[in-house]
């Protein structure tokens, strides 16, 4: 700067002051922005706007008091900007009579202003004040908030009281003062509203790991382990779940294409047909063999179709597809039954007059069928036709393949849902418990 005027602004400096309570040295790190300063030695809360640093409050500190994990004065890079830790507070809420505490760190950069970090049980959030106003939808099962096109679901509303402070703050801070804090989540983000009096402040937090914080602020040692599932912690499974369903859809498409393709190239060739008569009243051997027929081409399926004129009856057919040269037989039995009638509910039918079965992987060769019909004596005559087709399209394979793809996807989805279950169990809207309630 080369201002020629005589009013070249002074260069704001880090002020060294002394606590009027105990005389300990104080450092003001946010220049003129500090509103309250807390003496680290005697825990006096001082009015930073007063040149005499009037003592506003003194608070008692338990001997096992917390220390900030990131010491005041530490600098680190957050989103490409250097920030210095200038303040620290612990805030406490009560749920079912039990106190829960989290920690907030005030970060400062003289150009970009303030930013905050929160830490609870090893879960961290990078927090900044919102510039636009969120849209609150307070009704429905769980209230939601819309912000910049994204929807956030209400997680918890509680009264948070400041229970410990250190360093400097750009607002009036007092131990014991409480604000109503409401959190709305859309992992990895959380929108929080803080209401004190009739003023509401909105902020947005983004989940960040302790490891990243340690790296940003070049801290030694290891961050505390994250315990449990935090309100806006991104589910490690949610993206995997999405990916597996995308893959599933891809394979499904492939299966459909395969199915259509094989359906088109399948020869579906009729190799044999014969019409027969079975009289169940006639005693004696009913079994017979058909004429021989050729199954050509590569090893593939054979479809045996039975068409009958059954009417409120059944017939059982023992089939054997026998290779004339090797004697190898494919045995299978089919029951065909067709019943219909009329009752108080109207007409009904059961079964059908026709049946079809596929015999998989039949090598080429000369074959014949041995057929052994059975029926209830007294039924009388049944006319039926047997048709044999070579290389018919097979669909059961696709069903199995579908199942094989579906199982891992469903399993992962279930695990992801249990993660969400743990998340929401801690909220004001816990999921309905399944199974026995204890």
Distance CA 334, CA 356 (A): 9
Q: Which is nearer to other proteins, 127 or 315 (CB)?
A: 127
At its nearest, how many Å lie between other proteins and the CB of residue 6? 6
First to last CA, the chain: 71
Q: Which is nearer to other proteins, 167 or 373 (CB)?
A: 167
Q: Which is nearer to other proteins, 35 or 66 (CB)?
A: 35
At its nearest, how many Å lie between other proteins and the CB of residue 410? 39
Q: Which is nearer to other proteins, 52 or 198 (CB)?
A: 198
Distance CA 404, CA 407 (A): 6
Distance CA 124, CA 188 (A): 11
Q: Which is nearer to other proteins, 198 or 220 (CB)?
A: 198
Quick one: tokens of 184?
């709305």
Q: Which is nearer to other proteins, 80 or 341 (CB)?
A: 80
Q: Which is nearer to other proteins, 139 or 434 (CB)?
A: 139
DSSP letter for each residue of 275-344: EEEEETTS-S---EE---EEE-SSSEEEEEEEEE--SSEEEEEEEEEEETTT--EEEEEEEEEEEEEEET
| Exposed / middle / buried, residue 190 (Cβ in 10 Å: 0-12, 13-18, 19+) | buried
Distance CA 297, CA 343 (A): 51
At its nearest, how many Å lie between other proteins and the CB of residue 124? 23
At its nearest, how many Å lie between other proteins and the CB of residue 171? 6
Cis peptide before 188 (omega within 30 of 0): yes
At its nearest, how many Å lie between other proteins and the CB of residue 183? 19
Q: Which of these, 389, 383, 386, lies nearest to 308 by C-alpha position?
A: 383
At its nearest, how many Å lie between other proteins and the CB of residue 409? 38
CA dist 50 → 32, 47, 267 (Å) = 11, 6, 95
Q: 103, 120 in Cβ contact below 8 A?
A: yes
Q: Which is nearer to other proteins, 9 or 341 (CB)?
A: 9
Q: 203, 130 in Cβ contact below 8 A?
A: yes
Quick one: tokens of 120?
């609870």
At its nearest, how many Å lie between other proteins and the CB of residue 162? 16
Q: Which residue in this structure is represented by tokens 């004040």?
A: 129
Residues found near other proteins in the complex (CB under 8 A): 1, 3, 5-7, 9-14, 30-33, 35, 49, 82, 109-114, 129, 131-135, 146, 170-172, 198-200
Q: Which is nearer to other proteins, 145 or 386 (CB)?
A: 145
CA dist 155 → 85, 192, 419, 422, 437 (Å) = 28, 10, 15, 13, 23
At its nearest, how many Å lie between other proteins and the CB of residue 191? 13
Q: Which is nearer to other proteins, 13 or 349 (CB)?
A: 13
Quick one: tokens of 124?
């961290």
At its nearest, how many Å lie between other proteins and the CB of residue 32? 4
At its nearest, how many Å lie between other proteins and the CB of residue 87? 13
Distance CA 266, CA 63 (A): 83
């Amino acid at each position: 700067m080369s201002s020629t005027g005589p009013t070249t602004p002074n260069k704001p400096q880090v002020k060294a002051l002394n606590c009027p309570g105990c005389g300990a040295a104080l450092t003001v790190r946010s220049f003129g922005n500090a509103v309250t300063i807390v003496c680290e030695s005697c825990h006096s809360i001082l009015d930073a706007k007063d040149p005499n640093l009037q003592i506003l409050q003194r608070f008692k500190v338990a001997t096992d008091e917390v220390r900030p994990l990131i010491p005041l004065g530490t600098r680190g890079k957050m989103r490409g900007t250097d920030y210095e830790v200038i303040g620290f507070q612990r805030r406490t809420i009560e749920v079912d009579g039990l106190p829960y505490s989290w920690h907030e760190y005030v970060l400062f950069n003289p150009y970009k202003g303030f930013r905050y970090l929160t830490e609870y049980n090893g879960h961290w959030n990078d927090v900044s004040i919102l510039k636009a106003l969120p849209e609150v939808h307070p009704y429905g099962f769980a209230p939601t908030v819309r912000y910049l096109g994204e929807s956030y679901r209400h997680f918890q509303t509680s009264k948070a009281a400041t229970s410990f402070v250190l360093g400097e703050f750009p607002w009036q801070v007092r131990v014991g003062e409480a604000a109503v804090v409401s959190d709305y989540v859309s992992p990895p983000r959380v929108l929080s509203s803080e209401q004190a009096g009739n003023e509401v402040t909105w902020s947005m937090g983004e989940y960040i790991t302790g490891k990243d914080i340690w790296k940003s602020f070049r801290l030694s040692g290891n961050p505390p382990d994250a315990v449990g599932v935090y309100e806006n912690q991104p589910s490690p499974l949610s993206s995997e779940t999405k990916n597996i369903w995308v893959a599933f859809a891809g394979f499904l498409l492939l299966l459909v294409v395969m199915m259509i393709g094989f359906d088109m190239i399948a020869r579906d060739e009729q190799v044999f047909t014969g019409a027969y008569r079975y009289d169940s009243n006639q005693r004696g051997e009913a079994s017979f063999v058909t004429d021989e027929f050729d199954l050509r081409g590569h090893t593939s399926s054979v479809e045996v179709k039975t068409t009958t004129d059954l009417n409120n009856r059944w017939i059982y057919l023992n089939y054997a597809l026998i290779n004339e040269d090797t004697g190898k037989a494919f045995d299978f039995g089919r029951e065909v039954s067709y019943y219909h009638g009329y009752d108080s509910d109207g007409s009904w039918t059961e079964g059908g007059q026709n049946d079809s079965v596929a015999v998989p992987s039949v090598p080429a060769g000369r074959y014949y069928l041995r057929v052994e019909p059975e029926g209830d004596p007294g039924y009388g005559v049944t006319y039926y036709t047997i048709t044999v087709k070579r290389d018919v399209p097979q669909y059961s394979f696709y069903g199995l393949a579908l199942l094989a793809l579906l199982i891992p996807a469903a399993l992962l989805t279930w695990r992801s849902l249990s993660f969400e279950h743990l998340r929401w169990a801690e909220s004001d809207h816990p999921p309905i418990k399944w199974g026995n309630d204890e």
